[in-house]
Structures are given as C-alpha cells and as structure tokens.
Amino acid sequence: MPKNIPKDTQSLYSILSEGKYSGCIKISNPIHQWISWEVYCNHNYIYYATSSIGQQERLKCLWKYFLPNFSPPSSFFTVGDYEIFTNWWQENNLHLPLLQRLISNLTQEALTHALSIDSPLIEFLPNQQLLSPVTFFSSQKMAESAYLRSKKWKQYSYQNISPFHRLYLNSDKTHQFYQLWKSNHSSYSEKRPRISFWLSNLSEKYCLYELAADRGILPLKFMKDFQYLFKENIIEFLDFTDVNLNRSKETISNPKKVKESFSNDSPIIACIDDSRTVQKHIKKTLELSGYQTLNLTDPTLCLTTLARYHPSLILMDINMPQINGYELCKILKKSRKLSEIPIVMLTGRDGLIDRIRAKRFGVEYYLTKPCNPKELIEVVNNLTSVKSINISDNSSVNSG
C-alpha cells in the first residue's frame, strides 16, 4: 500500500486492492451524488471500470487521446462501452493487445477519479457482473497506479470537481474573464486556446471531457493548464445532468417585449452591431417587412442569446470592440447549435480583400453600410428561403 493514504480513502483503496469482492463496486460522490463509478471485478482481478453517467462524452475524449489513429463508426459511442469494445475486437476491427491497452487505460482513469473522491459512498452489487469478460488486470497494481494519479487530480482540482461538471461563463462576468485571460496570454501560443475557444464553448456548457477532447488532451491536463481561470471563481461548474441552470442575462433592451414578439412564426433575424443607429435602421427595415429582430450590441455576450432563439439569419458588423466579426463568425461556425445559420457581414469597407476574407470565413453575403433597404430585404428574403447568393454578385450601395 502506498504511504500516507488519507483515512477517508484507505477503505476504498483496500477494497480495490485486496481483491475480497466479486461483482460490481459502485462508488459515489457524497456531495455530487449524480457522479458514480462502477468497478467490475473478481477477487484479485479487475475486469473493467467505467462511469454510470456521461459514457458517450467520456469515451469520445479518452478514445481520441488513447487511440488517435483509429476512427470507430459513428454509432460506436451510442451504447454501452465494454460490450462494444469486445464486439469490435471479435469482428477483427481491433487487435487484442490494443483492446487490452485501451481498456486498461479507461479502467485506470475511472479508478483515478473514484479514488479522488473524499469519503466516497461505496455499494456492493454482487449480482451485477460483466458477461464473458476478455480482459483482467491485477487489482493491487491497478489500485496503486490509480491512487498516485488521483493525488495529481486533487492537486489541480478543487471543490470536488469531476470531469463531468459543465463549465459555464455568465454574461455578467465576460469582461472580467476577458481581462484575466488577456493578462495571462500577453503573447499568442498554439498550446493555449484563443479567446474564441472560451467564448464559444463556455456558452454551450460543455463538460470537462468535451473541452479536453476538443484540445486532444486529458481532463487532468486541462485542469492543470487552466486552473488560474477556475480559482478566480469566474467560471461556474454546473451539474452534468442539469444544463438549464444559471442562464446568462440576455443583452436585449426589453426582454419582455422580445419574448412577446417572438410568439409568432415569422423568421427571427439577429443583428450584432455596436452601433445603436445601425440597429435602429435594421430593425425598422426588417420589421416593416414582417421579420422579427434580435438586436445585440456586445459580441462577447451574444452566444447564449443566439443559442436560445436560434435566428434564421445573422447580420454582423466586422469592426467591433474586443472581438471582430471575422473572429465571431469563426466561433459561430464551430458551434454545433449555430453553425448552419447563414451570416451576412455589415461593414463600411467595400474592398475586394474584405470580400474574399468574408467568403473564406463562411459568410453568405457582404453588405456595405448604410444598407440600402431594398437590397437588405432582398438578401434576407433569399437567405431565409434557403436560396444561394454569391458574395461577388453584390453591388455596393451607399445610399440610405
């Protein structure tokens, strides 16, 4: 047994390493009881360990890290994990040594998080066993290795955070977050996510497994690299099973009026522009033509609002403070919820380079400001009717 194991961990460590039990050992977090881990064992051997929730998110992350050169079919992650592994192996899609190594890594990772729980709740389920297991590992060696890893997790984690917790940035703290991020990244580094990574993912409330998968790393590395962000209590940690908590405040001048006006079936057009004069012009033009408008003046606070209302089209200024239109467009195109929404750029510039750049970022159309009302309506009509328009077909109109 490793030295200096805390008393609240000793009992679980002894259970895992001494091999006295057969069946399933369920280990739960007393603070976050929605988090639990299941260890399948037979006395001195551990067959497999997994989570009781979020198997899909966890498996996608760990598969990408441990088997980056193997691409399973899309249906691979939709059912239970151990049976899928063995079935894939039996169909000669995965060699046995590779299967054993993968399951060993997955099991050790699960045990690591189980052993990092303070005063865990332990339940024995002798009748819950794996059918025809094809892998087995020394209980003692697995427990020893996992315990050493659990110490590292507890070093960089805090408040009983698990890889299943969802990260969320409330819109009220966006500016504070931006300043903190900027002070810690005075120069750009490929190893650290840009601000666009955070603005996109923190509005979607992804869990640590999903965020780590995006970076191609393990949750432990993610916690280690970005603990300075978490310790400032700017980012909130939400339960995995409840993604509807702590919704950010919408940046809308009259939320009640917006809610009422969105009760019909007319297409919603979002306009992201820091100029209230432009917003007023766009709103008046579109609403006279039967559209509903969602006016957003701060690009750093708009993602949650866009995800909630899911507009039919987004009009977006290029020159905005903190994050420009191109960068925001890039974020939206990476969002699972928002990537298919057509984007029209609004700008006072009318150069060929800007048009080419806009098209490269996935922009559907390019309008110069002030927008000609007739052309604006024509563009919106076409794009909300899923008709194709080419950026190069636009003729600049500077009359309002």
Of 262, 325, 318, nearest to 294 by C-alpha is 262
- pLDDT at res. 133: 86
- pLDDT at res. 182: 75
Mean pLDDT (whole number) for 168-188: 74
Beta bridge partners of 367: 346
Helix, strand, or coil (residue 164): coil
CATH superfamily for 255-393 is Response regulator (3.40.50.2300)
| 250-282 pLDDT, tens digit each | 333 333 344 444 556 788 999 998 888 888 888
Q: CA separation (Å) from 236 to 136, 178, 200, 304?
A: 39, 15, 15, 15
For residue 111, give the H/E element and its range.
Answer: helix 96-115
What average pLDDT is seen over the chain?
79
If pLDDT is split at 50, 70 and 90, which confidence band does 392 have?
very low
Most confident of 135-149, 276-290, 313-327: 135-149
Q: CA separation (Å) from 21 to 39, 51, 339, 342?
A: 11, 19, 50, 58
- pLDDT at res. 105: 94
| 193-210 pLDDT, tens digit each | 667 777 777 877 899 999
Mean pLDDT (whole number) for 119-147: 90
Comparison of pLDDT for 102 and 351, the residue scoring more: 102
- pLDDT at res. 218: 93
Q: Residue type at 187?
A: S
* Euclidean distance between CA atoms 292 and 61, whole angstroms: 40
- pLDDT at res. 46: 95
If pLDDT is split at 50, 70 and 90, which confidence band does 78 have?
low
- pLDDT at res. 373: 87
Find the radius of gyration of the CA atoms of the chain.
Answer: 26
- pLDDT at res. 139: 94
Of 48, 41, 50, 51, nearest to 15 by C-alpha is 41
If pLDDT is split at 50, 70 and 90, which confidence band does 315 have?
very high
Spatial neighbors of 179 by CB under 8 A, at least 6 apart, are none
Helix, strand, or coil (residue 391): helix
Q: Are 203 and 303 in contact (CB under 8 A)?
A: yes
Beta bridge partners of 272: 296, 316
* Euclidean distance between CA atoms 342 and 325, whole angstroms: 14
pLDDT above 70 as % of the chain: 79
- pLDDT at res. 263: 55
| Residue located via tokens 């299967």 | 99
If pLDDT is split at 50, 70 and 90, which confidence band does 241 have?
confident
Residue/partner pairs of 84-91 with CB below 8 Å, 24 or more apart: 86/132, 86/134, 89/134
Domain boundaries along the sequence of the chain = 7-156, 166-238, 255-393
Spatial neighbors of 364 by CB under 8 A, at least 6 apart, are 342, 343, 344, 383, 389, 391
* Euclidean distance between CA atoms 179 and 185, whole angstroms: 10
- pLDDT at res. 352: 61
If pLDDT is split at 50, 70 and 90, which confidence band does 80 have?
low
Cα 101 off chain centre by:
27
- pLDDT at res. 394: 42
Residue 386 has pLDDT above 60, yes or no: no
Residue 221 has pLDDT above 70, yes or no: yes
- Tokens, residue 7: 């008393």
- Tokens, residue 209: 């497994």
Residue 393 has pLDDT above 60, yes or no: no
If pLDDT is split at 50, 70 and 90, which confidence band does 9 have?
low
Comparison of pLDDT for 342 and 232, the residue scoring more: 342
- pLDDT at res. 246: 36
**Does the predicted TM-score (pTM) go above 0.75?**
no
Spatial neighbors of 358 by CB under 8 A, at least 6 apart, are 318, 326, 329, 345, 366, 391
